[in-house]
Amino acid sequence: MGMKHVAPAGVLLATVTFLGAPAQAVPTVPAAPAAHAAPAGSRDPSGREPVGGARLGERGVVFPTGLKAPPTTSAKSYVIADADTGEVLAAKNPHGRYLPASTLKALTALALIPKLDKARKVKPSRNAVNVEGSAVGLVPKPLYTVEDLFKALLLVSGNDAAVALAEANGGLDRTLADMNAEARRLQAFDTVAKTPNGLDKPGQSSSAYDLALIARAGLAHPDFRRYVSLKTDRFPAPKGYYEIGNHNKLLWRYKGMIGVKNGWTSKALASFVGAAKRNGHTVIVTIMRHDGYMWEDIADLLDWGFAARGRAVPVGRLVEPVPEPAPLPTAQAANPAAPGPAAAQKPAARPVEDSGSALPYAAAAALAALLGGAAWLMYGRRRS
């Protein structure tokens, strides 16, 4: 289905093409044929199968038996998933690792939105202002709130906004650590962030599967969802404001489109992560390394996803984030019988009656006073 249906406005080594660069060796598991093995890092913590299910380790197109295959696309990798249930409806080389380009900004936003006060004012550095590639046009003045920068990041793919947000978060190293920690929390093991803006850098990677995990987690956050859904917004300037528009063309063309982020560099080619909602259901589509005009292909894949959801056994699943570790028990929690700090400051409650051969409380107190007086008398005699 095309755009005519959418609303207007011990390891073996297998040689594979990686990140658009010359072929290189990628680790695979000996038990699986090299042509169908997922990268080793994309396996679940047990190491038994690819994250999301065994079929997601295949490199070709994977779809449910009994359904028509998804529309063809020149993208080297894609995932179609039900955002509500986490079911992967179809995929092509879902754990293939490629340069993510600006789709990585979705991870930047997901990692930093909870950490930064959106009302805080930020003065970008000269380094942020002069970053290469797509930019919103920052100047080194405290004109911008954190929220302004997130809008610039996600609407117009501002590389300058990404660096300014990293600076607001304590610097590039800290931000990359936060991004990679967030990827591990999501079990996005194919993803390695080397920049906050997705500009190509050796060692940086993601996968269509990981981008789907990131999109699903982001859409659950109200601010993230609001930012990526904006078609246009006003952006501060030294004299007033100017209008910025979202680079995601499907926000105007595809019925129910939510967002999330598209990207392109000459090495990564075109990439996209996004979602749409129809009849109360949300479908996620991610693609990587598309070498042409991708918007028609994305719309067709979304159409297929809405038609396929609920009709067949899924080919895999978007895994849930790793649970937050439980807090270590305090001494009081570990030993409920032990008195807490408050109890230590209060006198013990008087027992109504002691057990065994102990004297009642009043008698014991009288005896203690008598003995104490005798002792003082004897002490006084020794001193005199």
Alpha carbon distance 109, 101 (integer Å) = 14
Q: 213: pLDDT confidence band, cut at 50, 70 and 90?
A: very high
Contacts of 238 (CB under 8 A, 6+ apart): 139, 141, 143
**Residue ranges of the chain assigned to CATH 3.40.710.10:** 77-317
Residue 134 is among the residues annotated as catalytic for this protein = no
pLDDT, one tens digit per residue, over 5-18 is 444 333 333 333 33
Contacts of 138 (CB under 8 A, 6+ apart): 124, 128, 129, 144, 152, 158, 160, 161, 164
pLDDT at 38: 63
Q: Which of 157, 206, 207, 271 is catalytic?
A: 157
pLDDT at 40: 64
Longest dimension (CA), the chain: 114
Which residues, in sequence order, are bridge partners of residue 271?
Answer: 263
Alpha carbon distance 113, 384 (integer Å) = 79
Of 341, 45, 371, the closest CA to residue 189 belongs to 45
Helix axes 105-112, 222-229, angle to 10 degrees: 140
How much is the mean pLDDT over the chain? 82
Look up the CATH architecture of domain 77-317.
3-Layer(aba) Sandwich (3.40)
Q: Which of 77, 102, 134, 206 is catalytic?
A: 102
Query: Is the pLDDT assigned to residue 43 strictly greater than 80?
Result: no
Bigger pLDDT: 109 vs 28: 109
pLDDT at 337: 56
Residue 105 is among the residues annotated as catalytic for this protein = yes
Residue 4 is among the residues annotated as catalytic for this protein = no
Average pLDDT over residues 23-48: 49
Average pLDDT over residues 78-82: 98
Which range has the worst mean pLDDT, 2-16, 28-42, 118-132, 161-175?
2-16
Q: Output Rg (C-alpha) for the chain, integer angstroms.
A: 30
User: 264 phi and psi, to 5 degrees?
Assistant: -165, 135
pLDDT, one tens digit per residue, over 244-288 is 999 999 999 999 999 999 999 999 999 999 999 999 999 999 999
pLDDT at 333: 54
User: Percent of the chain at pLDDT above 70?
Assistant: 74
pLDDT at 46: 66
3-state secondary structure of 370: helix
Q: Which of 42, 77, 92, 105 is catalytic?
A: 105
